[in-house]
Amino acid sequence: MKNTKVFLVSFLIFIITVSLINTTVWWLESTYTWKRCLAHGGTLSITIMFGWIPALIIGYDYEKYLDNKNK
């Protein structure tokens, strides 16, 4: 059950990060729609390079939190 919780928290943070990156690109690019920014190659590249880092950090911290909570 612990691994499922850590996965769900990490996945949620990844989705939030993708949404924030996409919204930032959408605000900076006035001619694209939000959907087009999501499918743009530059946005996908930035997401692949940097989007997993916050999810990894928060997932690791949450796992440590669950380990300490059960002791």
Average pLDDT over residues 2-9: 94
Average pLDDT over residues 40-47: 89
In a domain, 40, yes or no: yes
d(CA 62, CA 59): 5
Query: With 90 as the cut, is the pLDDT of residue 65 above it?
Result: yes
In a domain, 18, yes or no: yes
Contact assessment for residue 15 and residue 64, using Cβ atoms and an 8 Å cutoff:
no
Structure token pair of residue 58: 């928060």
In a domain, 71, yes or no: no
Q: pLDDT tens digits for 15-29?
A: 999 999 999 999 998
d(CA 28, CA 45): 17
In a domain, 15, yes or no: yes
Of residues 70 and 41, which shows the higher confidence score?
41
Percentage of the chain with pLDDT > 70? 100
Domain, as residue range, for 7: 2-66
